[in-house]
């Protein structure tokens, strides 16, 4: 089976490309990735970028064999992509929907469009968490497959993290309104000076007790940054998946996040999950993450890897049998 992956945001999803290729190949598929940089990372206009993206989908669909599949790794215009993929591949294509209800305003997810697209035969979607799948099903989509977020294997994991000195907690990524900065301020106040609290990402406001690095972090620096922390905190109020959490699995750094999120599916460990506005539960989760040894975290990673490979292998085998 050959899988053609169309990725129109190859800079933002550079690491995801590696994870998706590795996971598909472990599942028995050959992989061809057709990627282009997003307008913000190139000199291409948005219109020209979109035209090139959709021409790429149509051209790839024409060459698909019955057992092949086309995967859009990120929809440029939401369910416009879902509709086009279904129509040109005749059911042999899928669109990965990362945020069924986008955290920021995004074209292609409106009610009117969803009402039309969900009635198109052959629309097939992939979600990376149960909460994302449930959101898509509630919108009326019938063919939604739950597949774990792809990840790299242990042989690709690099040097172990450094825990020398005081423990540190890292929040990584660009600021968005759904970041819980009130929680972050309460955590630094509650845990005192025994822990270093750091933020790396653009657009953040000042938060008491947190050191800010507001520069753009290049791709090559992300993994060393994650390994440098004792724990990574994901202080979103709402999210459907976390690529940062998966990179923490890959890099051997424990991660802490909200109990009512997709992290519960990834970690299966209540000790590393904070509960709503209960600051004490977040403090306990951070301390548990800092105290987590490499062997225990490796077990979490192996379990997630085994589940991921089983799901993707079943999906690949399903296409082979068509």
pLDDT for 322:
67
pLDDT for 69:
94
Report the relative pairing of strands 144-146 and 93-96 from DSSP bridges. unpaired
pLDDT for 179:
87
* Token output for 58: 């149509």
How far apart are alpha carbons 284 and 25 in whole angstroms?
39
pLDDT for 154:
60
pLDDT for 159:
47
pTM comes to 0.90
pLDDT for 56:
96
Question: Among 116, 112, 76, which residue's Cα sits nearest to residue 97?
Answer: 76
* Token output for 318: 């399903």
**Residues in the chain where the model's pLDDT stays below 50:** 155-159
How far apart are alpha carbons 269 and 258 in whole angstroms?
12
């Amino acid at each position: 089976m050959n899988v053609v992956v169309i990725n129109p945001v190859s800079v933002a999803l550079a690491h995801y490309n590696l994870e998706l290729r590795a996971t598909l190949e472990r599942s028995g598929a050959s992989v061809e990735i057709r990627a282009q940089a997003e307008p913000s990372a190139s000199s291409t206009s948005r219109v020209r970028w979109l035209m090139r993206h959709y021409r790429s989908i149509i051209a790839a669909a024409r060459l698909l064999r019955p057992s092949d599949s086309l995967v859009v790794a990120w929809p440029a215009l939401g369910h416009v992509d879902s509709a086009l993929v279904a129509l040109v591949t005749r059911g042999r294509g899928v669109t990965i929907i990362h945020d069924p209800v986008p955290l920021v305003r995004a074209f292609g997810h409106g009610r009117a469009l969803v009402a039309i697209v969900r009635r198109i035969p052959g629309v097939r979607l992939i979600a990376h968490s149960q909460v994302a799948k449930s959101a898509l099903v509630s919108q009326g989509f019938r063919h939604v497959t739950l597949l774990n977020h792809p990840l790299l294997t242990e042989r690709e994991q690099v040097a172990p993290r450094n825990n020398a000195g005081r423990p540190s907690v890292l929040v990584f990524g660009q600021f968005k309104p759904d970041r819980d900065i009130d929680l972050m301020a309460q955590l630094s106040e509650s845990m005192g000076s025994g822990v270093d609290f750091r933020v790396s990402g653009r657009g953040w406001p000042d938060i008491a007790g947190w050191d800010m690095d507001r520069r753009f972090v290049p791709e090559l620096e992300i993994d060393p940054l994650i390994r440098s922390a004792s724990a990574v905190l994901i202080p979103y109020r709402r999210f459907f998946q976390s690529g940062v959490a998966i990179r923490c699995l890959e890099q051997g750094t424990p991660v802490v996040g909200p109990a009512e999120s997709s992290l519960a599916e990834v970690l299966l460990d209540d000790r590393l999950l904070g509960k709503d506005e209960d600051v004490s539960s977040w403090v306990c989760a951070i301390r548990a993450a800092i105290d987590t040894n490499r062997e225990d975290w490796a077990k979490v990673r192996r379990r997630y890897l085994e589940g991921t490979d089983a799901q993707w292998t079943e999906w690949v085998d399903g296409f082979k049998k068509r």
